[in-house]
Amino acid sequence: MSEPKIQMACDRDQLAKMAAGRIVEAAEGAIGKTGRFSLVLSGGSTPKALYELLAEAPYKDQVEWDKVHIFFGDERCVAPDHADSNYRMANEAMLSKLPIPPAQVHRMRGEIAPVDAAAEYDALLRSFFAIDGPDVVLLGLGDDAHTASLFPHTAALSADDKLCVSNWVEKLKATRLTMTASFLNRAHEVIFLVAGATKADAVRQVLEGESDPDRLPAQRIKPSDGQLIWLLDVQAAEMEQSQ
Ligand code: 6PG
């Protein structure tokens, strides 16, 4: 794996623009090479501005959306119209505004039994990515250094024989669906999108602290052959700069 690239944005708007530029570039390359582009979306609130940007000119006119396949890195165990649904956020911000064929938006079914939803998604990933990995994976970072729904000291961290699992998260008293680190590491490119001062300590520990992948799950993300990019706004990078 090549060294992570760390790129700084002055604010959240620039962060979204930097990520959108990378995605457009990666989509052009992948579609030119394989005829399709697979993009794994992250949940939470940070990527919303990016999703809204991709659904507007000029970005929406720069991607052959009919050749794009959308996946989700994780999902809450709720219905797709629930306020907490990562799918709902992405659909409202972007997917509903772009000409992506509905059959190419691969939702994790949070509304069914988590074990069944995880097994269903695991099978989908094994079939779609039989010989390859996702072109681009977007990830966020929690202030506890979780990413996707790979939370510290949870069972999903040791489920690397699977591609997608259901994961009980004690601190949330909730079950989540999540791609595993081993699958995420098959990506051609992983982009962490991190903003805000509350994330600065987690960024510093993950990038500069001791290796402790059970306590700092984001440290497990090391694409085997792919590129790892950290897009940080100045606030999230603050502890990083002060070291
Ligand atoms: C989720 C995400 C999760 C998120 C981080 C950061 O389902 O919540 O997948 O990993 O990316 O918690 O969330 P924010 O962007 O809201 O800070």
Q: Which atom of ligand 1 is nearest to the CA of 147?
A: 10
Amino acid at site 87: Y
Tokens 């940080």, residue located: 232
pLDDT tens, position by position, for the chain (243 residues)? 678 999 999 999 999 999 999 999 999 999 999 999 999 999 999 999 999 999 999 999 999 999 999 999 999 999 999 999 999 999 999 999 999 999 999 999 999 999 999 999 999 999 999 989 999 999 999 999 999 999 999 999 999 999 999 999 999 999 999 999 999 999 999 999 999 999 999 999 999 999 999 999 999 999 999 999 999 999 999 854 554
Note the pLDDT of residue 205. 97
SS3 9: strand
Residue list, ligand 1 pocket, CB within 6 Å: 42-46, 73-74, 86, 140-142, 146-149
**Phi then psi for 202, rounded to 5 degrees?**
-65, -40
* Cα–Cα separations (whole angstroms), residue 64 to 4, 21, 28, 51, 125: 28, 14, 8, 16, 22
* Cα–Cα separations (whole angstroms), residue 2 to 5, 22, 62, 119, 223: 9, 17, 28, 32, 8
Q: Which atom of ligand 1 is nearest to the CA of 194?
A: 15
The bridge status of strand 68-72 relative to strand 37-41 is parallel
Note the pLDDT of residue 204. 96
Note the pLDDT of residue 239. 52
Q: Which atom of ligand 1 is nearest to the CA of 150?
A: 10
> Which residues lie closer than 8 Å to 99 by C-beta, 6 or more apart?
65, 66
Q: With contact defined as beta carbons under 8 Å apart, do 48 and 93 qualify?
A: yes
Give 85 Cα–ligand 1 centroid separation in angstroms: 11
Note the pLDDT of residue 1. 62
Distance CA 63, CA 40 (A): 16
Mutate which of 141, 154, 176, 184 for ligand 1 pocket (most atoms within 8 A of beta carbon): 141
Q: Which atom of ligand 1 is nearest to the CA of 178?
A: 9
Mutate which of 15, 46, 144, 191 for ligand 1 pocket (most atoms within 8 A of beta carbon): 46
Residue nearest to atom 10 of ligand 1 (CA): 148
